[in-house]
Amino acid sequence: MSKYYVLDTNVLLHSPSALYTFNEHTVVIPEVVIEELDRFKKEASDRGANSREISRIIDNLRFTGNLLEGVIINDKGGMLKLESNHTDTKMPSHWERDKADNRILQVCKGLAEINRQVILVSRDTNMRVKATILGVHAEDFRNDKVADIDDQYTGRAVVYTSTDVINHFYKDDLNYIDICDLKLYDEETSRLVSPSLVTNQFLLIRSTDKDRHTAVGRFDGKKVVQLKYRSRNPFGVIPRNVGQIFLQECLMMSAEEAPLVIIKGMSGTAKTFYSLAVGLYKYMECRPREYHHLLICRPNIPMDEDIGFLPGSEAEKISPFMRGIHDNLFTLMSGNAAVEEKEIAQVEDTVQMLFDKRIIQTEALAYQRGRSVQKYWMIFDEMQNSTPRQAKGVITRPGHGTKIILLGDPAQIDHPYLDSRTNGLVYASDKMRGSKLCFQVTMEPDECERSPLAAEAAMRL
């Protein structure tokens, strides 16, 4: 029997194409959802763009039939219906009658009372709870969910081989390791098994007969090759752990070799710090210069939604959200060392000069829509607070010679309708896994380089 999926407004604002993902079933959009979409259509944010897109989709479907009776929307017989009825369906007396959420729930209850198999689809946890109170089945929108956080792709692995293989690997820069010489530890069977590696996966290679004998490499799709930039110290920064060695490798590669880099990990693992360090090194110390500018964006929720109401220029509006960037730049410009009080002003002037001369630019993520810049070093920080649509927009827009770096911690979500399985960072990581043009590294908790308290608190809290 065909099911009736009633969509909450937040589902369509998250993914306008959501209405096409329910196969042979009927998608119901309550009239109040149309009213809510209309409220957002003038926004310059991603939410505004999605509102306009779903409105266009529904408007086009209007010419294929009667939306109140239902129109076919896919080759499996699935239908879309606009629902304006059930306004007389009895609801709990203490619920606000005109509240949009309650009107959507009223449609669900009304359809259920006429023997329809109704499922509310909402990204709002409280909305799903209220549906349960009414006896209506409710689900989150799962179409773009990836694996649980512990099972997500990390871009790295630990493998095992003999000491002889490791020694030969390092005898010559051109030497490599054949994948058949490697083993992976299988936790389920407690045995070493043949590995299934992913293109551009970084490897910590351990000896099976000498505990402390190790090597690092990268699987290029056919064999394990050596890291080219392991001995570099970009902008004076030295990698302090294996994760940072991997991180440095993919950042140091040219935009032609590695146009997309995705780095995940808890705060304090030097994701942003290293990305800035290599970017400054590429701009200031490499000749010919590879990049014209460094551009830093951050999808902070208040910034993307409310930036138009803040006073000042765009740079002044987003400045409060970029203080972490300023802190990292201060550390880099001071040589990553303690600074005497009399030198503080000089270092701060140097940092400000980078912005005044537009060597480093900061912009709101929402304003990147439609841009296609060339030879930019583009850092997108806190991307766990972006939607899959925003992440796609970022990755599909770079011009020639531009390098895209996505950073974030999937465990630290501020967006009310995203989680560790549905945000843009993990979506991009999942979809770009195995691409020759994408390099990924997930930093381990023990690779946090902040104070012991910061590392302990990040894991415990």
For 360-417, how does the pLDDT look when each residue is reduced to its tens digit (9 = 90+)? 999 888 777 667 789 999 999 999 999 898 899 899 888 899 999 999 999 999 888 8
Task: Give CATH for domain 4-140.
Answer: 3.40.50.1010
Architecture of domain 240-460: 3-Layer(aba) Sandwich (3.40)
Give tens-digit pLDDT for 245-263.
999 999 999 999 999 999 9
Cross-strand bridge partners of residue 232: none
Alpha carbons 403 and 69: distance in angstroms, whole number: 49
Q: In this structure, which amino acid lies at residue 68?
A: L
pLDDT single digits (tens) 428-454? 999 999 999 999 999 998 898 877 787
pLDDT bin (cut points 50, 70, 90) of residue 156 is: very high
Q: Span 125-144, mean pLDDT?
A: 92
Q: Supply 105's token pair.
A: 């729930």
Residues 172-208 pLDDT 10s: 888 999 999 999 999 889 899 999 999 999 999 999 9
Write out the two tokens for 79. Answer: 């239908």
User: Which phi and psi angles does 215 have, rounded to 5°?
Assistant: -145, 165
CA dihedral for 229, 234, 238, 243, sign (positive or negative): negative
Contact 117, 143 (CB under 8 A): no
In tens, the pLDDT along 297-345 reads 988 654 344 555 555 565 666 666 678 898 999 999 887 666 676 688 8
**42 and 415 Cβ atoms separated by less than 8 Å:** no
Distance, in Å, from the CA atom of 88 to the CA atom of 104, rounded to the nearest integer, reads 13
Ramachandran region of residue 221, left (φ > 0), alpha (ψ -120 to 50) or beta? left
Q: Where are the domains of the chain?
A: 4-140, 147-226, 240-460
Q: Say if 4-140 and 240-460 have the same CATH topology.
A: yes
